[in-house]
């Protein structure tokens, strides 16, 4: 029996047993087995008439087998990074990329799918869509190319995988290399205790007095929002926006500038090889949006309808502050203005949102909407003592899925919040493998005096990620490549998450998720009213900020010219000049930290957040019209959107739920801009 924990054929990943030395042997073994199995399968398929049931489920099984090995490795690389694990991860990236490109260039495999599609041979819900997407993806991978171009495409994919991973690793290492030691109590006035306490503990561990700050996301956000010392806000801001750049004075070894050039060059070349003018066109071939022009028009319409409002919001803030504002002043004075207008602040709200209460209320909301329950499970192997696991059951007690939760920021964990797939739904041989997700956030951990206490923004983030979890777990599709979020266009995959986060503002829901962590007292009625009124506070500023990011991403990938390298910051500056109302300093290196597009899956697709927000706002409007927990609406949203995965065209799925296509006015209305 193979003792490598990554090669266990069933069950949850054995996280506690996985070691870096297990990674490469497991990956090599499963790739070798998959290659041999595929050769045998194709030889057998060539001798028979097209038969979906004899072939496609076996191919799906190969993908699931690789996912069971690589998914826990990729996850640990994000949440429990070590030099040893990183080395093993990086060693396997070219192996994985090589294998995936081999599949995309396998002419026999392509012809099998094409014959099945042409013959109309499929088997069960989602199978026809599976064939359609597979044939499309073969063509996008260059299955039709001459051998020399296939070889170059393959080499590009391997190099690109390494470069994108390197971008994220530089970002993590650059942040980890920064620290700030302070001993003057006056300089930390206003900084919340949940940041000061661990900073004091780090100082003691280092044999120092005072506070030793690190550059985790919660610490950065808390300082720029609450620190009275303007220089301290400046120092944190400068460190955050110059990570992994030529401006990172504390760390010269992790500049992402050359990495970004490498990534852009490789993407552009790959797109050209398979027949596209640029990577943006290549990216949109798998999206709901049909063209670069359509996306650009969509973004510019939103800019035109929100920039004036954003300027008004900035003017109001500047007048309130009574002084010219720099970027490191915006969050600080915005919090004070929000308190002045609505008599609430993040830190005053935080005691009313203890994480256990928020989770219990969130579970109750989901149960009322979709009729599912969350049952904590003891004895499940995890990578960190604070991680928990929940089984998801229907009211008959049948387990339909599960998910891990990893809530707290750590130095060896990347920033942000996300959902990832630990295990896909997959029915084979009469056995059902239920879907399992990872829900990851970067909240401040509990202190000696209190549980983890969330800002309302963090509550919204948690609801958002739960929307992704539900999309993954509630699927009814039995083929992994089109179940859950798989096969869903990138510009629609945020629909369930952005739809779900909207519930976090409803009075009925806030009552379910809040209660003072010491007394259990409900959030006072006036505070709740102020929270709702503050929902669209500076919404136009937030809108143009996201539009700036999206237009930068689209412009960069659509207009990239390999003969003119070194244009990344210049493109960013031009977009800012057109869109932004908050002026950034010349040393701001936001592109170097933009992991969504240089290290993640949002390249030429960051617009997806706004595109999906339109869908989500329009969907939520139906609940505003007919009742927050309307059972028929909830049933229809579940069956027409959440359960179908990638088995159905998302535009058709939305119309099936809403009765018509979505319209941008719903988002502008929800944002208070219309």
Tell me phi and psi for residue 304, to 5 degrees: -60, -30
**What is the sign, positive or negative, of the torsion defined by CA atoms of 241, 243, 246, 251?**
positive
Residue 322 CB-density burial (10 A; 0-12 exposed, 13-18 middle, 19+ buried):
exposed
State how beta strands 418-423 and 388-394 pair. Answer: unpaired
Rg (CA), the chain: 25
Report CA-CA distances (Å) from 263 to 123, 573, 589: 39, 20, 17
196 in Cβ contact with 277 (< 8 Å): no
Question: Which token pair is 293?
Answer: 């022009």
Between CA 354 and CA 514 the distance in angstroms is: 7
The 10 Å Cβ neighbour count of residue 304 is 9
Question: Which token pair is 648?
Answer: 């159905």
Report CA-CA distances (Å) from 141 to 37, 39, 105, 156, 562: 22, 20, 7, 12, 21
Question: Which string of DSSP letters, residue by residue, matches 211-255?
Answer: EEE---HHHHHHHHHH-S-HHHHHHHHHHHHTTTSTT-TT--S--
Question: Which token pair is 313?
Answer: 């919001």
Q: Which of 458, 439, 470 is nearest to 367 (CA)?
A: 470
Q: How many CA atoms lie within 13 Å of 629's alpha carbon, on the beta-carbon side?
A: 12
Q: Which of 476, 475, 479 is nearest to 426 (CA)?
A: 479
Report CA-CA distances (Å) from 600 to 161, 163, 263, 532: 10, 11, 12, 33
Q: Give the H/E segment covering residue 491.
A: none
Question: Which string of DSSP letters, residue by residue, matches 68-91?
Answer: HHHHHHHHHHHHS--HHHHHHHHH
Between CA 269 and CA 565 the distance in angstroms is: 14
Tell me phi and psi for residue 565, to 5 degrees: -70, 170
Residues sharing a CB contact under 8 Å with residue 311, sequence separation 6 or more, in sequence order: 581
Q: Annotated catalytic residue: which of 296, 313, 465, 501?
A: 465
Question: Which string of DSSP letters, residue by residue, matches 407-474?
Answer: EE--TTS-SS-EEEEEE--EEETTEEE--EEEEEEEEPPP-SSS--B--HHHHHHHHHHHHHHHHHHS
- Unique residue bearing structure tokens 């499929």: 122
* 3 state SS of 389: strand
- Unique residue bearing structure tokens 């280092």: 206
Question: Which token pair is 598?
Answer: 């240089």
133 in Cβ contact with 487 (< 8 Å): yes
Give catalytic status of residue 261 as yes or no: no
Catalytically active residues, by annotation:
465
């Amino acid at each position: 029996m193979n003792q490598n924990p990554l090669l266990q054929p069933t069950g949850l990943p054995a996280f506690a047993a996985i070691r870096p030395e297990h990674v490469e042997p497991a990956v090599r073994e499963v790739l070798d087995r998959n290659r041999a199995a595929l050769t045998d399968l194709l030889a057998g398929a060539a001798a028979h008439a097209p038969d979906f049931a004899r072939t496609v489920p076996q191919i799906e099984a190969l993908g699931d087998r690789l996912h069971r090995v690589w998914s826990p490795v990729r996850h640990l690389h994000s949440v429990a990074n070590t030099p040893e694990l990183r080395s093993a991860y990086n060693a396997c990236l070219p192996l994985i990329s090589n294998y995936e490109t081999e599949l995309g260039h396998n002419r026999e495999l392509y012809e099998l799918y094409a014959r099945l599609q042409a013959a109309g041979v499929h088997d069960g819900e989602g199978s026809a869509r599976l064939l359609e997407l597979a044939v499309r993806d073969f063509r996008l991978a260059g299955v039709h190319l001459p051998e020399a171009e296939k070889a170059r495409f393959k080499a590009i994919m391997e190099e690109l995988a390494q470069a994108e991973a390197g971008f994220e690793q530089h970002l993590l290492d650059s942040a980890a290399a920064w620290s700030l030691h302070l001993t003057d109590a006056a300089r930390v006035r206003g900084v919340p205790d949940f940041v000061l306490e661990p900073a004091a503990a780090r100082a003691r561990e280092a044999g120092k007095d005072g506070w030793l700050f690190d550059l985790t996301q919660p610490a950065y956000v808390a300082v720029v929002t609450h620190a009275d010392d303007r220089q301290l806000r400046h120092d944190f801001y400068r460190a955050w926006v110059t990570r992994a750049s030529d401006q990172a004075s504390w760390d010269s070894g992790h500049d992402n500038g050359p990495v970004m050039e490498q990534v852009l060059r490789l993407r552009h070349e790959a797109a050209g090889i398979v027949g596209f003018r640029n990577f943006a066109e290549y990216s949109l071939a798998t999206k709901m949006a049909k063209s670069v022009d359509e996306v650009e028009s969509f973004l510019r319409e939103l800019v035109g309808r929100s920039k004036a409002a954003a300027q008004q919001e900035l003017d109001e803030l500047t007048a309130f502050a009574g002084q010219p504002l720099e970027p490191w002043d915006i969050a600080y004075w915005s919090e004070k203005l929000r308190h002045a207008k609505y008599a609430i602040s993040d830190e005053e709200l935080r005691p009313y949102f203890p994480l256990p209460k928020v989770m219990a209320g969130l579970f109750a909301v989901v149960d009322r909407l979709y009729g599912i329950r969350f049952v904590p499970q003891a004895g499940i192997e995890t990578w960190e003592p604070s991680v928990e696991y929940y089984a998801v059951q229907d009211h008959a007690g049948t387990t339909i899925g599960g998910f891990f939760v990893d809530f707290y920021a750590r130095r060896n964990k990347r920033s942000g919040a996300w959902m990832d797939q630990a295990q896909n739904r997959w029915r084979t041989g009469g056995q059902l493998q239920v879907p399992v997700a990872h829900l990851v956030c970067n909240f401040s951990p509990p202190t000696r005096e209190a549980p983890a206490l969330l800002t309302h923004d963090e509550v919204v983030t948690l609801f958002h990620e739960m929307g992704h979890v539900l999309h993954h777990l509630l699927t009814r599709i039995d083929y992994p490549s089109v179940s859950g979020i798989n096969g869903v266009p990138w510009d629609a995959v945020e629909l369930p998450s952005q739809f779900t986060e909207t519930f976090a503002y409803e009075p009925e829901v806030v009552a379910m998720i809040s209660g003072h962590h010491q007394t259990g007292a409900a959030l006072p009625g006036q505070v709740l009213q102020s929270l709702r009124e503050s929902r669209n506070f500076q919404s136009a500023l937030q809108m143009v900020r996201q539009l700036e990011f999206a237009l930068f991403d689209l412009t960069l990938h659509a207009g990239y010219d390999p003969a003119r390298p070194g244009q990344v910051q210049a493109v960013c500056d031009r977009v800012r000049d057109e869109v932004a109302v908050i002026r950034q300093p010349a040393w701001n290196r936001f592109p170097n930290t933009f992991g969504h597009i240089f290290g993640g899956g949002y390249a030429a697709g960051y617009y997806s957040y706004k595109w999906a927000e339109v869908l989500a706002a329009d969907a939520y409007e139906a609940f505003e019209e007919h009742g927050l927990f309307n059972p028929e609406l909830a049933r229809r949203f579940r069956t027409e959107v959440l359960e179908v995965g990638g088995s159905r065209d998302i535009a058709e799925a939305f119309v099936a739920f809403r009765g018509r296509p979505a319209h941008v006015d719903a988002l502008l209305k929800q944002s208070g801009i219309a």
